[in-house]
Amino acid sequence: MSTLKLEQVSKRYGVTRVIDELSLEVHRGEFIVVLGPSGCGKTSLLRMVAGLEEVSGGRVMIDGKDATSTDPGKRNVAMVFQHYALYPHMTVRDNLAFGLRNVRLQRDEIDRRIAESARMLELTDLLERKPDQLSGGQRQRVAIARAVVKAPAIFLFDEPLSNLDAALRGRTRVELARLHRRLGATMLFVTHDQLEAMTLATRIVVMNGGSIEQVGTPVEVYRRPATRFVAGFIGTPGMNFIPVARAGAEAGCTVVRLPGGGELTTRVPDQWCSGGDGELSLGVRPENLRPAASGPLRGQVETVEFLGERSLVVLTLADGSALTITLDGTVPAPGATISVALDLDEAHLFDAGGRAHHARVDPR
pLDDT at 331: 84
- Say if residue 255 is in the same domain as residue 186: no
Could you tell me if residue 363 is inside a domain? Answer: no
Tell me, what CATH number does 188's domain have? Answer: 3.40.50.300
- Say if residue 177 is in the same domain as residue 300: no
Could you tell me if residue 188 is inside a domain? Answer: yes
- Say if residue 225 is in the same domain as residue 290: no
Could you tell me if residue 340 is inside a domain? Answer: yes
Q: Which residues of the chain have pLDDT under 70?
A: 1, 272-278, 361-364
- Say if residue 298 is in the same domain as residue 226: no
> Looking at the 3D structure of the chain, how many domains does it have?
2
Sort residue 335 into left (φ over 0), alpha (ψ -120 to 50) or beta.
Answer: left
- Say if residue 310 is in the same domain as residue 291: yes
Query: Considering 210, 232, 254, which residue would you say is the last residue of a domain?
Result: 232
Using DSSP bridges, classify how beta strands 297-306 and 337-342 pair: parallel, antiparallel or unpaired: antiparallel
The span from the CA of 36 to the CA of 210, in Å, is: 10
Tell me, what CATH number does 346's domain have? Answer: 2.40.50.140
pLDDT at 242: 94
Could you tell me if residue 353 is inside a domain? Answer: yes
pLDDT at 363: 45
- Say if residue 288 is in the same domain as residue 331: yes
- Say if residue 217 is in the same domain as residue 278: no
Could you tell me if residue 364 is inside a domain? Answer: no
- Say if residue 175 is in the same domain as residue 281: no
- Say if residue 257 is in the same domain as residue 215: no
- Say if residue 157 is in the same domain as residue 51: yes
Angle between helices 166-183 and 136-148 (to 10 degrees): 20
Which pTM was predicted? Answer: 0.89
Could you tell me if residue 203 is inside a domain? Answer: yes
Contacts of 104 (CB under 8 A, 6+ apart): none
Could you tell me if residue 42 is inside a domain? Answer: yes
CA 64 to chain centre: 26
- Say if residue 60 is in the same domain as residue 96: yes
Contacts of 331 (CB under 8 A, 6+ apart): 304, 306, 311, 313
Residue-wise burial string across 107-130, b where 16 or more C-beta atoms lie within 10 A, e elsewhere: eeebeebbeebbebbebeebbeeb
The span from the CA of 80 to the CA of 158, in Å, is: 6
pLDDT at 329: 79
The span from the CA of 45 to the CA of 208, in Å, is: 12
> Which residue segment(s) compose the domain that 324 sits in?
238-357
Could you tell me if residue 362 is inside a domain? Answer: no
Query: Considering 208, 232, 256, which residue would you say is the last residue of a domain?
Result: 232
Contacts of 1 (CB under 8 A, 6+ apart): 28, 29, 153, 184, 185, 186
Using DSSP bridges, classify how beta strands 279-284 and 240-250 pair: parallel, antiparallel or unpaired: antiparallel
Query: Considering 205, 232, 259, which residue would you say is the last residue of a domain?
Result: 232
- Say if residue 225 is in the same domain as residue 317: no
